[in-house]
Chains A and B, each alone.
Chain A
Amino acid sequence: MSAEKDNIIAFEHVTFTYPDAPRPAVDDLSFAIKKGAWTALIGHNGSGKSTVSKLINGLLAPDDMDRSKIVVNGIKLAQETVWDVREQVGIVFQNPDNQFVGATVADDVAFGLENRATPRSEMVKIVAQAVSDVGMADYAGAEPSNLSGGQKQRVAIAGILAIKPKVIILDEATSMLDPEGKQQILDLVKRIKDENDLTVISITHDIDEASLADQVLVMDDGKLIDQGTPEHIFAQVDLLERIGLDIPFTFRLKQLLQERGIDLPRDADKEDELVQEICQLNSKM
């Protein structure tokens, strides 16, 4: 029973089919996400991973509401509870431009608060705090057309912080950013996760982003085909190739060194470990 209590999100037998689609995008899916964890959801395009995020906050509803069960922070998702669930979950979407509603940074951050009829005096304080939390205080009055993609995604995160949810979902949120923008977003999410006691779900096909996770869920054809620590998943080179993910640097290097007659321990997965192993090899001989 206690295990169930630790879970902030639970899917049980969830099936969802898009209108006119021959097959379900999400097929009898069950999984649970622990409170406070960072979970990466990976899979190739069309594996159903982005559908999952829309199911979590009720933007899409399962085919059969009676058979499927989605629970978010103890609330069972249903017609009547969908707005309560959306209080718990904030989503950063892929395209930085297409989720920027407000005319300026501050206006955009306020959008979620306006929808919840927060009194203006309170709103001003919350917006100022959220904007400065994501390092955009100098740009509060800036218009979106003068911001970079990474800055717009920071604003999207500020808009989510403002409504104080329990879960933040990064739905391919870094895939349209340059490397610098991507790194800034990931650093920011790491920081706010701890500060605000958030649960993070990142839907991604970026190996660096997935490696930040405590747990990785692998989806294919609407089904969960594997789950485990990043180390467990990344060691399966065939699996990664099948779902279209980069082979991590360390695995590629070990493979190339093996071809050159240098065998390194299988468990040296992290780059620093590999550096140690190679240096030891050097001094030993």
Chain B
Amino acid sequence: MKKKILVIDDDLNIREYLVSLFKDNGYEVYVAGDVKQGLSQTKKNKPHLITLDIEMPGEWGPRFYHQLTQDPELKDIPVIVISGLSGHQCAVVKAVASISKPFDRDELLKIVKETLKK
């Protein structure tokens, strides 16, 4: 069974990039453009991993993480932060990784692979 990844980013181009990258590497991918959509997609599809942008219109990425951890069913889903914001490493302390934009796709795939193995 394919592992499921949810991509949360407000930039359409970056969303499409990540969708292609993950699909090409054998993952099933879902997308969300903001925190609200991200939460409903998480509840609906129960992804195995989430990539999260920090700065988005409306609520910020850390708000999503906070709400995620409030749900006992979802709180253990690993989150990788992908952001262009300086200081993003501190935004979600329990993230499995914090990657700066523009990122190295091999490095991202390696982290995703290792995280999903666990």
A binds B: no
